[in-house]
Amino acid sequence: MDNEVLKALRERRSIRRYKPEQISDEELQAVLEAGTWAPTAKGRQDPWIVAVQRPDLVERIDRLNGEVWGHPAPFYGAPTIILVFGSDPSVWPNSIPDGSLVLGNMMLAAHAVGLGSCWINREREMFALPEGKALMQELGLPAEGLVGIGALALGYPASFPTSVKARKDGYWRIIR
């Protein structure tokens, strides 16, 4: 069985090199809207999605994430960063799974419109720092009650992976 969605699932790859030019507003809106259509527990729509294109903020987010990870450029030069936040899991236990589905939808949408993306971690740690909390307020978010779930590096791919890891044996099974 095959169709466009299944093909996109097989072909999407994490992109780690981006062209410097900014993506179009239309492309960004398509990706962001796809995130809003991700399923969320009880239809709560708990995640908060923030797209950052202002170069000074992109640089600060990249630097802060790099300090947490110990990597000099964890967003790989992408001109757009999409951050996903959710309620503190002690208050809403489904916030991490809900935000993860949002990120997954946006990665597939990015691929569908010809953009590259890469899921970036450590947002929980970086937005727990005082500088991260200040940044959240700068982004118009409450600094308390939300946690960082993940982020996407987003842009036009400068290169594509040339190999694909084979799927492991026994990855799935059917019990009847």
Alpha-carbon gap, residue 25 to 12, rounded angstroms: 21
Arithmetic mean of pLDDT, 52-57: 98
Which whole-number Å values give the CA distances from 170 to 31, 136, 167, 174, in the listed order?
33, 42, 9, 10
Please give the model's pTM, rounded to 2 decimal places: 0.95
Say whether pLDDT at 143 is over 80.
Answer: no
**Domain boundaries defined on the chain:** 22-155
CATH topology assigned to domain 22-155: NADH Oxidase (3.40.109)
| 120 bridge partner residues | 151
Q: Where are the beta strands (DSSP E) in 8-102?
A: 48-52, 80-87
Alpha-carbon gap, residue 10 to 65, rounded angstroms: 29
Band of pLDDT at residue 81, cut at 50, 70 and 90: very high
Arithmetic mean of pLDDT, 78-98: 97
